[in-house]
Every structure is written in C-alpha cells, then in structure tokens.
Amino acid sequence: MTAREIMEYDVIIVGAGPAGLSCAIRLKQLKPDLMVAVIEKGAQIGAHILSGAVIEPEPLDQLLPGWRENPPPVCIPVAKDELWLLTKKGKIRLPTPPQQKNHGNFIVSLGSMCAWMAQKAEALEVDIFPGYAAAEIRFNDDGAVGGVIIGDMGVDSAGKHKDNYMQGIEIHAAMTVLCEGCRGHLSKQLIRKFELDKDCDPQTYGIGMKELWRVQPGKSKPGLVQHTTGWPLDAKTYGGSFIYHLDKDRIAIGFVTGLDYQDPAFRPFEAFQQMKHHPMLHELLEGGEILSSGARAIVEGGYQSLPKTEMPGALLIGDAAGMLNVPKIKGTHQAMRCGMMAAEHINDTASAEGFDAKLRDSEIVRELYKVRNIRPAFYSGLWRGFVRSAIETVTLGKLPTTLSIHDDDSTLKKRDDYTAPDRKWVDRDLPPRDRLASVYFAATEHDEDQPVHLRILEPDICTTRCAEEYDNPCTRFCPANVYEMVADDRVKKDGGRRLQINASNCVHCKVCDIKDPYQIINWVTPEGGCGPNYQNM
C-alpha cells in the first residue's frame, strides 16, 4: 500500500448542507486567505439534500445580505398556514400552533438552495468537492481530529482493485467541521470515541419521506403551507405530513413519523402512501405526476439529546449534532446559524475549545430549550401530547420539568408482545406503486460492483433471533427496499432464507442504522458520487 496523497487546508468541512456551506461562506467573509474546503458525497451539491422545506430567512439575511434581490431558484413566500387533523375520510381544521406560523418565511427547495449557496461559496474561493465521500477520520498523533480520509474509488464487490482504482487522499486540516446531517457516519464514530453524548439523553429520530409532484394546472396554490396529523397513524405513533404549494404547478408533499414507533410490523413508507390517499390529498394529486422522491432520517431529540459539540480538532454542527426544532418542523435556520457561529469561533480562537459553551449560551440552544418537552410529551399518545405541548407552548417552556428522551432502537416491541391496531388502510391507486418505483424517482445510483456499504455486523442474528422476535423489521422500515429476506436453496439452515441487501437502492436516509433493534447495521459511505440524485428536493 502506497502512502496516500495529502492535501492541506486550514478548515475542512464535511457535508455541503446549509450548516457546512454557511460555515464556509462565513469563514471566507471573515478571513479571505483562509484555506477552506467542503467535501460532499453527493454527485452534485444538493443531490443528497432532502427537506420540506419552509425556512426562516433571518440567518440568510445575516449571511448573505441582499439575497432577496437574487433569491435561490425555488423560493416562494408563505401566504397561508393550515393545520388539519385527519380521520380516515374526514378532516378537522385545527388552530395553527404559534411555532408553525410561517408569516415571513419562505418555501424553498433546500437542495437547490444549497447549490445556490455553493456558488456563493465558490465565488469566495471555497474549494467545493462534490462526488467525494469522507470515509474516515484522520487522527493526529495526539489523538485529536486532524482531517478526513477520502474513500477509495474503483474497488469491486469482492474488495479487489479494478482497472480504474484510485486511492482516496488524506485531507489534513487544523479544524474539521462535521456537518453530515442527521446520523452522520463519521459524527457517529466521533460521538462514541470522544463520549460526546455521555451527559445527554439518547438521540431520537424520525423518518421523513418526500415527493415532489407536478399536479394538474390550478390545483397548486403557491405559498400555501399545510400540515396534517392523525390518520393514517394510530394515536401511539408520532407523525404527520406537510404539503407545500410551490410555483409551476408543483407540490412538495411529505410525511414524517417518529422512529420510536413500537409496532414491529409498521411500514412507514406505506403510511406515507396511505396518507396521500386521504380524500383531501388524493384530490390534489390525482392526475399529476411525481418529479422526484426520497427519504431521510430526521433528528428529533432536541435540547435533551444534544451531544457535546466540540472535541479536539473538530466541531459538530447542524443536524449532525441535532439542532432541529421539532414543533417548528424546521432545522435549516438553526443549521445556518450554527454554521456561522462555528465560523466565528474558528476565526476568533483557531480552536474547537469553548465552542460548546458558546453554543449553549446562544439563541440556537435557547430555542431548543423552549420546546424541549413537546416531542417527548407525545410519548403518551397524540392527545396527551397535544395537551402537554399546548401547556409548554403557552408557558414558553418555562416549567421546571424536563422530560427525558428515549432511544429508538429499543422502543420496537417484539412480535409476540404487540398487537397492531386495525389500521383500516385502503387500496392505493396513486404512484408510486411500491418502494422500488419510489427509488426510481430518487434517481439513486450506485456502481453495483463495489463493496456493500450497509455492513451487517452479525449476519447470523438476521436469520435467527431477528426473524423470530421481530420478523426482520429492516424489510419494512427501509423506505428504499434495500433489505429483503429471500428463500435460497443454497442456505441449508434457518428455514432456507437469507438477507438480501439491495445496496444500490439505498437513498442514504440512515434509518436502518438507527432503527435496527440489535444495532448491527452499520451504514458506511459507498463510493463518492453514489446515492440519490435528488432534483429540487
């Protein structure tokens, strides 16, 4: 093995999302001669970004004054908010909670906004490298983080070098900023190594699925923001939907459900598709076509689950740490603010030290503190959740109690211990027919001749304990049909079945890494440039 080539930067930023790009832009605004690079595993900037998204514009005003004259490609002022409680056939309009009031906010495609921000960053001479995955952390001799190692390319499924094999290089940097988004695979390792979560609650997550539709002319009302709760979820399962009306007859429709659900037979993707068949939405979508679709895990733990965000040589920002405001259903403004704050801290101190304290004393964490009890309030069901969250909202989170957050992998009940409610789900007729068809609209692509990037640490568990206890929930919680249990003549034990991993379907949502009850699925980066190719998501 030859020594890896090395590139040196002052700051290396992992992930070209709103946090990373805000950090990069601010760094160069403060210190133009700083060498800053952003590394992004998506084939282009925005290809792996999936968000609603309604954003609060203040951080953009701070970062890019004058942006309103030259806004991102999809940017529609919110005109109206609606919150609906759905029953199977009916709907009840609820008052919009204050956190969800969106006057002055904008509906954007976060993916195209990131591509737009990347151009601003490049104009400031930030080096942006899409299509390259930061596969590993590079540690200095003293144990501090000293940069990242780019994944090798051109390795076949057996691990052998292909003709076009290219060894990944090392990027050395005085400061590494991790902004991989929710459940980043490097962030996960660093949280463990530096015990960043030893003083906080476990993290909790949701799965968000989204489709961008072109509907029949006249059905989209640009600027209308709708949220729903209730059907098709039972009262014990947290979640709801968003319907954002864009221009050009486009509608962004999405569904989020807490990954702390208990039903081992629950199928989040099916729940999303069912939701679309509620009369209110069916009418809206009928006759339209899907332009793009995808899924992504969402970080929901908030204040209680926020890990320490600094370690020697590195910072953890945005949803890689977990700054999403659940009741607002927004994280972009938090990510951007945090990115700017990280940049300012690096500029001031040239060190990671002291960042976490600064963050906890900032508006970013204060915002999380105010709403800290709302998500866990729903642990006892939808109705108690409504009541408790109303109280928390009215009191601005000033009540002295703080509810604790539970993890998601242990909430799943075993088959024998759970009786699923009758969900009364309906026959569907809107596309996509199934998860494979949905993946098609994600335009996800992986060179099939490469090592499987979903590593099963103890494969025997899948066909034995997991099959018995949970009936292999990975085959249901994955929104991309990556996991299948298939009969195979060659398997002589365990009922002749084996786990088939269709890794090339993966949309990099990270749900498997989170929800697997045995925690034996480890998501690692595939070859750079692989994964979904979201368009305006």
Positions that interact with another protein (CB under 8 A)? 5, 7, 43-44, 46-47, 73, 109, 111-112, 115, 127, 129, 132, 150, 153-154, 162-164, 166, 169, 171, 214, 249, 291, 433, 436-437, 439-441, 443, 445, 448-449, 486-490, 500, 502, 504, 533, 535-536
Annotated active-site residue 509? The verdict is yes
The distance of closest approach from Cβ of residue 338 to another protein in the complex, given in angstroms and rounded to an integer, is 26
- The smaller minimum CB distance to another protein, of residues 87 and 216, is found at 216
Catalytic residue among 75, 114, 466, 506: 506
The distance of closest approach from Cβ of residue 237 to another protein in the complex, given in angstroms and rounded to an integer, is 28
The distance of closest approach from Cβ of residue 160 to another protein in the complex, given in angstroms and rounded to an integer, is 14
Backbone angles phi, psi at 389, to 5 degrees: -70, -30
- The smaller minimum CB distance to another protein, of residues 164 and 401, is found at 164
| Whether the Cβ atoms of residue 50 and residue 111 lie closer than 8 Å to each other | yes
Q: Say how far apart CA 286 and CA 255 lie, in whole Å.
A: 18
Catalytic residue among 228, 257, 332, 504: 332
Q: Which residues pair with residue 40 across a beta bridge?
A: 130
Annotated active-site residue 179? The verdict is no
Amino acid identity for residue 82 in this structure: E
CB half-sphere exposure, 503, CA atoms < 13 A: 20
Q: Say how far apart CA 148 and CA 166 lie, in whole Å.
A: 16
- The smaller minimum CB distance to another protein, of residues 21 and 352, is found at 21
- Containing H/E element for 75? strand 75-77
The distance of closest approach from Cβ of residue 246 to another protein in the complex, given in angstroms and rounded to an integer, is 12
- The smaller minimum CB distance to another protein, of residues 424 and 490, is found at 490
Catalytic residue among 22, 23, 26, 51: 51
Closest CA to 303 of 387, 194, 405, 399: 405
Closest CA to 376 of 350, 353, 397: 397
- The smaller minimum CB distance to another protein, of residues 228 and 292, is found at 292
Q: Say how far apart CA 533 and CA 507 lie, in whole Å.
A: 9
Annotated active-site residue 462? The verdict is no
- 77 by Cβ neighbours in 10 Å (0-12 / 13-18 / 19+) ranks as middle
Cα distances (Å, whole numbers) of residue 220 to 2, 225, 226, 247: 57, 11, 12, 7
- The smaller minimum CB distance to another protein, of residues 350 and 486, is found at 486
* Strand residue runs (E) in 95-183: 106-108, 127-130, 134-139, 145-150, 153-155, 161-166, 170-178
The distance of closest approach from Cβ of residue 210 to another protein in the complex, given in angstroms and rounded to an integer, is 15
Q: Say how far apart CA 53 and CA 108 lie, in whole Å.
A: 6
Find the angle CA(510)-CA(515)-CA(516) to the nearest 5 degrees.
105
Annotated active-site residue 506? The verdict is yes
Q: Say how far apart CA 106 and CA 336 lie, in whole Å.
A: 15
The distance of closest approach from Cβ of residue 435 to another protein in the complex, given in angstroms and rounded to an integer, is 10
Catalytic residue among 182, 474, 512, 530: 512
Q: What does R_g of the chain's alpha carbons equal in angstroms?
A: 22
Annotated active-site residue 138? The verdict is no
- Containing H/E element for 502? none
Catalytic residue among 114, 179, 462, 478: 478
Q: Which residues pair with residue 13 across a beta bridge?
A: 38, 177
Structure tokens at 444: 């996800």
The distance of closest approach from Cβ of residue 207 to another protein in the complex, given in angstroms and rounded to an integer, is 22
The distance of closest approach from Cβ of residue 129 to another protein in the complex, given in angstroms and rounded to an integer, is 6
Find the angle CA(366)-CA(76)-CA(277) to the nearest 5 degrees.
90
The distance of closest approach from Cβ of residue 162 to another protein in the complex, given in angstroms and rounded to an integer, is 7
Annotated active-site residue 512? The verdict is yes
- The smaller minimum CB distance to another protein, of residues 176 and 304, is found at 176
Annotated active-site residue 466? The verdict is no
Residues 6 or more apart in contact with residue 490 via CB below 8 angstroms: none
- 504 by Cβ neighbours in 10 Å (0-12 / 13-18 / 19+) ranks as buried
| Whether the Cβ atoms of residue 145 and residue 312 lie closer than 8 Å to each other | yes
* Residues designated catalytic: 51, 296, 332, 478, 506, 509, 512
